[in-house]
Chains A and B, each alone.
Chain A
Amino acid sequence: MITLENVSFAYADQGPSVQDVSFRLEKGEFAAILGANGAGKTTTVRLMDGLLKPTSGRVLINDMDTVKSQVSERARKVGFLFQNPDRQICKNTVREEILFGLRTVRGDEGEEALQARTDEVLKDFHFTGDEEPFSLSRGQRQRVALASILAVEPEILILDEPTTGLDYLECCHIMDRIRKMNEEKQVTVIMVCHDMEVVLDYARRALVMAGGRLLADGPVKEIFRNTELMEKASILPPQMIGLGLRLGDGFENADTPEGMAEAVMARRGKGGAGA
């Protein structure tokens, strides 16, 4: 669980980048933060992870105030996946990379346990462990970064544009893995993402930001169907939702091509058209 209470933040010598933002994420939620470049999304997720401290207001991870907490306490609870895996990866093999994260955060468990956990994660991600991260593709490196974060078994996973620069299959691999953690282990997920189709497919809740403020917070589909809000935040809704809104007349409820095709056929079946 993460709580933001009237959080504001300003970088040195600048006006506020985040202003009076409040929300609470319960355990097991899957939320997305939407908004234009510069809206304050990255600043917000860095505040959630304690990398930045609020200028005013409070951020609580479970019941722990990020201002008073130790880095090590937070690292045990929160995993942070950057947009660019190269900011994260620092070891020469995938095995070392995963072990490195584990030793830093769960060093008290003893080498044997950590080696066993590493084996488990390698197997799960289909790595041998001997791969050299910097000779892998960007998508593979992003999987290495994700593997080393999930190895620690965080309660909360924060993702800042995790699929940037990835192709479609790589994007699906990363997102399916995250969904699995969310569904099976009740890991709380919050992601910043510019691909609204991905947001629709994976997230259940959406937080919309503009100019450092939280404009709206609600179920993903409801948010996408709020035309005025979408315009204010410079967001084009996913195609099927956009199509449903154009068609109106009951079609607003479809949000996938399957759903839309069925709705069309049902209407034809009623004898609306000469089939």
Chain B
Amino acid sequence: MICFKDLSFTYKGEKAPALSEINLTVEDGGFLGIIGPAGAGKTTLARAITGMIPHHYTGDFYGSVAVNGLDTVDTSIDEISRMVGMVFQDVESQIISPLVEDEILYGLENFGVPREEIPQRMAEALQKVGIADLQERSIASLSGGQRQKVAIASIIALKPQVLVLDEPTGELDPRSSRQIFSLLKELNEEQGITVILIEQKIMLLCEFAKQLAVVSGGKIIRQGNTRDVLAHADELQALGVNCPRVTTLSRMLSEKTGAAQPVCINLEEAEKMVRRLIG
């Protein structure tokens, strides 16, 4: 379980806090989507979970963050990293090896995974992300999207209890993005891995995340079940957060029919709603 209690954080040398009074709980097995405009504090929130704040990034830190009951201030980054795996927004700063294979190997060896288990773990991670054919390639020869997939595979190979991903599909095409979201859903449902996913792709996020947190100006403006949060689409749009067009359709039909329509998050639901309305 991840638990933020009244967390406020101001980076050293900055005047304004990057996060203010964050209260947020993510249960084991949760799938939380985080959305918000650029500069809202999403990456800072992720850094607070992994302990990079306050261990790497210093500043004024108030309140607390606990991972599995351990206060991040008193726990080393190393220890937290055994529970929480993170895929960085800036992939370039995450990848340290010149070869794909070595990048995956590095983490596994670091975690003391037994030698005989390693080939299997590596093959499985690459295959799950759909890049088995890239195993022997050099990182330099890969496209931005392929590098993002390598970063994801290297973290998944470690089988952390909690996965934090910071805009991991920015350079992926629609099919690959959906593939990654499906993989996260599978890990979440079948292995009970807690997923915390920061994304701008609102349509996919709403389809896959069970909970949603909307961040703006360093605060959590709304959090709750995805559908409940989307019921406040007007408010989100005022903050500059888009919502899926099927959700907009729900809202418009509620207004036009004068009867509350369900908040739709995918095409199946929208089709059902329309068919019911036209009889």
- The judgment on whether A and B are partners is yes
User: Does B23 lie at the interface of the complex (its beta carbon under 8 Å from any beta carbon of A)?
Assistant: no
Q: A251: shortest Cβ distance to chain B, in Å?
A: 7
The answer for the CA separation of A235 and B176 in the assembled complex, in Å, is 11
> A36-B173, A138-B38, A168-B37 known; A264 and B278 CB under 8 Å?
yes
Q: Tell me which residues across on chain B come within 8 A of A251, comparing CB atoms.
A: 274
Say whether B38 contacts A167, CB under 8 Å: yes
B171 within 8 A of A: yes
Closest to A242 in B: B267
Complex alpha-carbon distance, A272 and B275, angstroms: 11
B249 interface residue (CB < 8 Å to A): yes
Query: CB-nearest residue of chain A relative to B243?
Result: A168
Q: What residue of chain A has the Cβ atom nearest to residue B203's Cβ?
A: A239
| In the complex, chain A residues whose CB is within 8 Å of the CB of B200 | 165-168
A37 contacts B256, CB within 8 Å? no
**Residue B170 at the chain A interface, CB threshold 8 Å:** yes
B174 at the interface (CB under 8 A from A): yes
Interface assignment of A107: CB less than 8 Å from any CB of chain B:
no
A243 touches B271 (CB 8 A): yes
Q: Find the B residue at minimum CB distance from A273.
A: B279
- Chain B residue with Cβ nearest A41: B173
Contact A240–B277 (Cβ < 8 Å): no
Bound together, the chains give a CA A137 to CA B277 distance in angstroms of 45
Query: Ordered nearest first, which 5 A-B pairs have the shortest CB separation?
Result: A273-B279, A169-B240, A261-B252, A168-B242, A257-B248
Known interface pairs A234-B175, A247-B275; 18 further A-B residue pairs with C-beta atoms within 8 A, sorted by A's residue number: A36-B176, A37-B173, A37-B176, A38-B143, A167-B36, A167-B240, A194-B173, A197-B245, A235-B174, A235-B175, A239-B246, A239-B270, A251-B274, A261-B256, A265-B256, A268-B278, A272-B278, A275-B257
Q: List 27 A-B contacts (CB under 8 A).
A: A35-B173, A137-B38, A164-B170, A165-B200, A166-B38, A167-B36, A167-B38, A168-B37, A168-B200, A169-B240, A194-B172, A194-B173, A196-B174, A197-B203, A234-B174, A235-B174, A243-B270, A247-B275, A258-B252, A260-B249, A261-B249, A261-B253, A261-B256, A264-B256, A267-B278, A268-B279, A272-B279
